[in-house]
Amino acid sequence: MSSVPEHLKYTKEHEWVEARDGGRVRVGITDFAQRQLGDIVFVETPKAGEGLKAGEPVGNLESVKAVCELYAPLSGRVLAVNDDLDADPDLINNDPYGDGWIMEIEPDDAEDLDGLLSTAQYEEYIAEDASE
């Protein structure tokens, strides 16, 4: 069973969002997503300072199995990206909720976090996905 931490919010694109100090949020992909992808070999991220629109593609994750798009979970501006992923993309496989984070965003509206999935909703979503 995939790990789904309680303190995070989730998207149907299998991304997690963590509220941080100063109104910023940290974003990564879930344990479920990294297991589906397999060994991640390359990560393309947006650049710091770039504007994002919720639901639009902002990068790619390439694994030995497939290439999948990374989507903006919220509208806002990229404050930072995890440069460690350039040299060590498998940080996502090894620690998807820690060292494998992908980017930090300053959301246009912090209340948009409320529209993301709770842990229980995300667990239900992946259970339905797995049963199809």
Model pTM? 0.94
pLDDT of residue 3: 85
CATH number at residue 37: 2.40.50.100
Give the integer Cα–Cα distance in Å for 35 and 85: 17
43 and 59 Cβ atoms separated by less than 8 Å: yes
Tell whether the model's pLDDT for residue 42 goes beyond 70.
Answer: yes
pLDDT of residue 96: 97
Interval 46-54 mean pLDDT: 96
| Domain tally, the chain | 1
Q: In the numeric block, which tokens belong to residue 92? A: 């996502």
Range of the structural domain that residue 119 is part of = 9-123
Tell whether 90 is covered by a domain: yes
Of 118, 99, 109, nearest in space to 34 by CA: 99
Which of helix, strand or coil describes residue 118?
coil
Tell whether 129 is covered by a domain: no
Tell whether 71 is covered by a domain: yes
